[in-house]
Amino acid sequence: MSDKLTVYYDGACPLCRAEIGHYRKQDGSEAIDFVDLSGSPADPAPDLSKKAAMARFHVRDEEGALKSGAAAFALLWRNLPAWRWLGLIADWPGIGWLLERAYRAFLPLRPRLAKLFAQRR
Protein backbone atom coordinates (compact mmCIF):
# COMPACT_ATOMS: atom_id res chain seq x y z
CA MET A 1 0.00 0.00 0.00
CA SER A 2 1.06 3.52 -0.72
CA ASP A 3 0.26 6.61 1.26
CA LYS A 4 -0.55 8.30 -2.04
CA LEU A 5 -3.12 7.91 -4.76
CA THR A 6 -1.53 6.31 -7.86
CA VAL A 7 -2.63 7.32 -11.35
CA TYR A 8 -1.60 5.05 -14.24
CA TYR A 9 -1.58 6.64 -17.69
CA ASP A 10 -0.32 6.25 -21.26
CA GLY A 11 2.42 8.85 -21.64
CA ALA A 12 2.78 8.00 -25.35
CA CYS A 13 -0.74 9.31 -25.98
CA PRO A 14 -0.59 13.09 -26.58
CA LEU A 15 -4.17 13.55 -25.38
CA CYS A 16 -3.52 11.56 -22.19
CA ARG A 17 -0.22 13.35 -21.58
CA ALA A 18 -1.90 16.75 -21.88
CA GLU A 19 -4.70 15.76 -19.53
CA ILE A 20 -2.31 14.39 -16.92
CA GLY A 21 -0.15 17.50 -17.33
CA HIS A 22 -3.22 19.57 -16.47
CA TYR A 23 -3.93 17.49 -13.36
CA ARG A 24 -0.27 17.71 -12.27
CA LYS A 25 -0.54 21.51 -12.20
CA GLN A 26 -3.49 21.41 -9.79
CA ASP A 27 -3.27 22.05 -6.06
CA GLY A 28 -3.18 18.70 -4.30
CA SER A 29 -1.34 16.89 -7.11
CA GLU A 30 1.77 16.60 -4.95
CA ALA A 31 -0.11 13.94 -2.97
CA ILE A 32 -0.59 11.83 -6.12
CA ASP A 33 1.87 9.49 -7.86
CA PHE A 34 1.50 9.74 -11.64
CA VAL A 35 2.91 6.63 -13.33
CA ASP A 36 3.63 6.76 -17.06
CA LEU A 37 3.28 3.21 -18.38
CA SER A 38 4.47 3.89 -21.92
CA GLY A 39 8.18 3.40 -21.22
CA SER A 40 8.03 0.04 -19.46
CA PRO A 41 7.14 -3.39 -20.83
CA ALA A 42 6.32 -4.67 -17.34
CA ASP A 43 2.92 -4.91 -15.70
CA PRO A 44 2.53 -2.01 -13.24
CA ALA A 45 1.15 -4.27 -10.49
CA PRO A 46 0.23 -7.93 -9.94
CA ASP A 47 -3.47 -7.09 -10.26
CA LEU A 48 -3.06 -4.76 -13.27
CA SER A 49 -1.59 -5.81 -16.60
CA LYS A 50 0.05 -3.23 -18.81
CA LYS A 51 -2.42 -4.09 -21.57
CA ALA A 52 -5.41 -3.39 -19.30
CA ALA A 53 -3.81 -0.23 -17.92
CA MET A 54 -3.14 1.14 -21.40
CA ALA A 55 -6.70 0.37 -22.54
CA ARG A 56 -8.51 2.18 -19.72
CA PHE A 57 -7.72 4.84 -17.12
CA HIS A 58 -6.78 3.31 -13.73
CA VAL A 59 -6.26 4.83 -10.29
CA ARG A 60 -5.27 3.04 -7.07
CA ASP A 61 -6.40 4.56 -3.79
CA GLU A 62 -4.28 4.84 -0.65
CA GLU A 63 -5.64 1.52 0.68
CA GLY A 64 -4.69 -0.32 -2.52
CA ALA A 65 -8.13 -0.57 -4.15
CA LEU A 66 -7.97 -0.26 -7.93
CA LYS A 67 -10.57 1.74 -9.86
CA SER A 68 -10.91 2.10 -13.62
CA GLY A 69 -12.82 4.19 -16.13
CA ALA A 70 -15.23 6.80 -14.80
CA ALA A 71 -14.79 5.57 -11.22
CA ALA A 72 -11.04 6.21 -11.54
CA PHE A 73 -11.64 9.74 -12.82
CA ALA A 74 -14.07 10.40 -9.95
CA LEU A 75 -11.48 9.19 -7.43
CA LEU A 76 -8.81 11.44 -8.95
CA TRP A 77 -11.18 14.43 -9.02
CA ARG A 78 -12.14 13.95 -5.35
CA ASN A 79 -8.45 14.23 -4.47
CA LEU A 80 -7.86 17.52 -6.30
CA PRO A 81 -9.46 20.49 -4.49
CA ALA A 82 -10.45 22.35 -7.68
CA TRP A 83 -12.08 19.20 -9.08
CA ARG A 84 -13.53 17.78 -5.84
CA TRP A 85 -17.03 19.05 -6.65
CA LEU A 86 -17.10 16.98 -9.86
CA GLY A 87 -15.87 13.88 -8.04
CA LEU A 88 -18.65 14.29 -5.49
CA ILE A 89 -21.27 14.72 -8.22
CA ALA A 90 -19.97 11.53 -9.85
CA ASP A 91 -20.98 9.70 -6.65
CA TRP A 92 -24.63 10.73 -6.95
CA PRO A 93 -27.00 7.88 -7.81
CA GLY A 94 -26.97 7.19 -11.53
CA ILE A 95 -24.28 9.75 -12.38
CA GLY A 96 -21.40 7.27 -12.15
CA TRP A 97 -23.30 4.92 -14.44
CA LEU A 98 -23.82 7.71 -17.00
CA LEU A 99 -20.17 8.78 -16.80
CA GLU A 100 -19.03 5.19 -17.34
CA ARG A 101 -21.25 4.87 -20.43
CA ALA A 102 -19.83 8.14 -21.78
CA TYR A 103 -16.28 6.94 -21.05
CA ARG A 104 -16.91 3.64 -22.86
CA ALA A 105 -18.25 5.57 -25.86
CA PHE A 106 -15.10 7.73 -25.83
CA LEU A 107 -12.60 4.85 -25.72
CA PRO A 108 -12.93 3.78 -29.39
CA LEU A 109 -12.54 7.44 -30.42
CA ARG A 110 -9.42 8.03 -28.31
CA PRO A 111 -6.82 6.96 -30.92
CA ARG A 112 -8.28 9.26 -33.58
CA LEU A 113 -8.72 12.13 -31.14
CA ALA A 114 -5.16 11.68 -29.91
CA LYS A 115 -3.89 11.82 -33.49
CA LEU A 116 -5.91 14.99 -34.19
CA PHE A 117 -4.70 16.52 -30.93
CA ALA A 118 -1.08 15.77 -31.83
CA GLN A 119 -1.48 17.30 -35.30
CA ARG A 120 -2.92 20.53 -33.85
CA ARG A 121 -0.06 20.99 -31.41
d(CA 71, CA 119): 30
7 with 59: CB under 8 angstroms? yes
Instruction: Give this prediction's pTM.
Output: 0.89
pLDDT at residue number 118: 76
The pLDDT tens digits for 41-66 are 899 999 999 999 999 999 999 999 99
The pLDDT tens digits for 58-110 are 999 999 999 999 999 999 999 999 999 999 999 999 999 999 999 999 988 88
Instruction: State mean pLDDT over 14-22.
Output: 92
pLDDT at residue number 1: 55
E-only strand ranges, the chain: 5-9, 32-36, 58-60, 66-68
